Amino acid sequence: MIPVHKNSVFIPENVNTSSESGVSIILRNQEFLTTKASEILLFEDDDLKWTEMEFVHRQFLGYLDKKPCYANVLNDSSMIPQEMMLSSLRNLLGRIPDNLFVICSRSLQICDWYTANQFCGYCGKKTTMHEKERAMICDCNNVMIYPRISPCIIVLVTRGEELLLAHNKNFPGEFYSTLAGFIEPGETAESAIEREVFEEVSVSVQNIQYYGSQSWPFPSQLMLGYHAEYSKGDVKPDGKEIDKADWFHFEELPQVPTGNISISGQLIESYLDKLKS
Ligand SMILES: [Zn+2]
């Protein structure tokens, strides 16, 4: 077994052209095999030869330090070694290095794509895997089914020294965050921001500025992060998704996400840095 160092380099790829032996991350039902201390383990091909664990399929992810890197999916009834356990990626957020998060995020999405597309949505026949591309194929109409990601916007709305933060009905306690939502088919990211902010808190925004993005594999979102300035309207939570929302002075913020876990935290931290500088 090998650890992933902060400096290890992972490059996503779809087809393995290397003859080197590989390394695998192991998962089942969206949980990863870890030590009891929640450290994710990577297994070398030689380690897997002697294990009693049983796998249903494995998916090539790319190269980790030039070695082929795979996601191995455990059979539902397979044993797992006594000194190990399964941990959800959500519980590991903020505690694993970025390069390992990329591997986990890709594992979840590639394995989910493979499982969900065993049959063609047009004709119902069994699909097969394309040999040269990351696609499931069906011979009806030459259908190619690629992994899909769902773009979402996430936006921090500000008014000078104040930040607009919202409490989602599903958030625990007094935890607040930025606003977010899926981009609808046909919509631009900017119009999704204007629509979502207005739907969720009845406020209009202006001067939308792109900040950065984050893969959020629960199950397949790509979060596009923005800052936006308040334009007009009184804050009124929609009562459906958002039960509380308000303006908070930057020196009196409620509990919010941290930047090492999510882009929401990075949007907040970068705005605070700007105010303090
Ligand atoms: Zn078909």
Q: 149 C-alpha to center of ligand 1: Å?
A: 22
Give the tens place of pLDDT for each residue, 94-116: 888 888 999 999 999 999 999 99
Q: 134 C-alpha to center of ligand 1: Å?
A: 17
Q: 91 C-alpha to center of ligand 1: Å?
A: 38
Predicted local confidence at residue 171, as pLDDT: 86
Q: 236 C-alpha to center of ligand 1: Å?
A: 47
Give me the residue spans of the domains in the chain: 10-113, 117-147, 150-276
Predicted local confidence at residue 118, as pLDDT: 97
CATH architecture, range 150-276: Alpha-Beta Complex (3.90)
Q: 136 C-alpha to center of ligand 1: Å?
A: 10
Strand pairing class (67-74; 23-28): parallel
Predicted local confidence at residue 3, as pLDDT: 73
Q: 148 C-alpha to center of ligand 1: Å?
A: 18
The topology under which CATH files domain 10-113 is Nucleoside Triphosphate Pyrophosphohydrolase (3.90.79)
- Asked if domains 10-113 and 150-276 share a fold, the reply is yes
pLDDT along the chain (277 residues), means of 10: 82 95 95 91 90 94 96 95 92 86 95 96 94 93 91 98 96 92 98 98 98 93 98 96 96 93 95 93
Q: 123 C-alpha to center of ligand 1: Å?
A: 4
Q: 132 C-alpha to center of ligand 1: Å?
A: 19
Q: 27 C-alpha to center of ligand 1: Å?
A: 29
Predicted local confidence at residue 260, as pLDDT: 85
Q: 126 C-alpha to center of ligand 1: Å?
A: 8
